[in-house]
Chain A
Amino acid sequence: MSAATDAVIPRILKAHEADLLDEWLREQASAFRPGSKISENELRGQAREFLSLLQQATQSGNITDIKGPSYGRVRDMLGDVTRSRGLQGFSPSETAIFVFSLKRPLFDRIRTELATDPESLAMVTWSASELLDKLGLYTTEVHQKSREEVITRQQAELLELSTPVVKLWDGILALPMIGTLDSARTQIVMESLLARIVETGAEIAIIDITGVPTVDTLTAQHLLKTVTAARLMGADCIISGIRPQIAQTIVHLGVDLSGVITKATLADALRRALEMRGQRDRLLKPRG
């Protein structure tokens, strides 16, 4: 690509800025649903800023590499627009239309400008198309990334909320588990349970899995690890809240829970825990 054709795009952007802006806004207006979520003034402001930044960026002679330093401000601006639209509830394609709808006005201008030179016309159109495609894809990427951030944050919050260890009775702790058990979560569950055992000196911990939708071999293994770790510290564990389907699954999977006390409901587990305490108190009573 020669310097002469490289210069066409910034020249057009500069010379026809106002026309391009109007046409582009019309183009966007036709692409959006009626009752758009963004005011026209705001849209115009964003479009104007984007055009002038794009013009500055293309001026550097770099037309297609949007990762280059000359596109820093364009990227920042697009990132901000995308994030704010993401929060307003725009879909990724609605956000990308912001960039893609610039194609038609820009290509029209290029065609009139280079009507006499078909070869340059093809080349310039190609590079303009490539540039806008990349910028459009960039908005999609930012959109997705901001969504992922939201998901990650919510996951972390959920994790903190979902592992309460409650004191059920003197010396009896209960850990109601809700949701799917994966490795990261089980680690946190295990640590908080063991920490509470040390803190309270509880001898019996009831792990209630009523809220756990499915149990697979991995989940069962995690549970067994927690029970074993608690035993090593000197506390007994009871697993309760095993639903009929889960009992069937556990047997079908061949998971061996024989070393663990299991109960159908939390109430049964509590009764058993109280019995164990009573038995222990009797046994530990001085002979007399």
Chain B
Amino acid sequence: MDHIPILKLRDFLLVTIQVDMHDRLAMQLQDDLTARISETGARGVLMDISSLDIVDSFIGRMIANIAAMARVLDAETVVVGMQPAVAITLVELGLTLPGVRTALNVDKGMALLESATREIGDSPAADAGHTE
């Protein structure tokens, strides 16, 4: 059984999807990631999907679910590097991923994640994210 590697980077978990996402792999990722968050007490999850060319409704929903689960475990999720075709597909499918933060690349995503987690600690009023 394949696993998508989950890297721990300081307070955050880094997930880079570099293979074609199929349904079982997504389920596996969901299990692994929730386990790792509770294990490490990570404050944030950065999911890089820049190599993902094709999504279907299942994978789209999976991304939203993973983000929601991470939030329940008190970790912010940022999805970075979504391809235009993937974005258009998700919009056409009606999956607008409300509540999921997004960024253009890993660099910006990491900065966003840092500011978002710091913000929660400091002042909840400021809003730097892309959440709707």
Contacts and interface: CB of A to CB of B under 8 A. Distances in A.
A232 B132 CA distance: 11
A201 B106 CA distance: 12
B111 A231 contact: no
Interface stretch (A88-96, A106-114, A277-285): A277-285
A191 B87 CA distance: 10
Nearest to B110: A284
Contacts of A287: 118
A287 B81 CA distance: 26
A226 to B, nearest CB: 8
B126 A197 contact: no
Interface residues of B, number: 30
Contacts of A229: 84, 87-88, 90-91
Contacts, number: 72
A229 B84 CA distance: 8
Given A225-B91, A279-B128, A284-B115, A234 B104 contact: yes
A175 interface: no
B132 A233 contact: no
A259 interface: yes
Interface string B58-95: 00000000000000000000011111101110111000
Given A229-B87, A232-B79, A233-B82, 7 more contacts: A194-B88, A225-B91, A233-B102, A234-B79, A234-B82, A284-B111, A287-B118
Nearest 5 pairs of A and B residues by beta carbon: A194-B84, A234-B103, A234-B102, A229-B87, A232-B87
Interface of A: 190-191, 194-195, 197-198, 201, 203, 225, 228-236, 259, 279-280, 283-284, 287
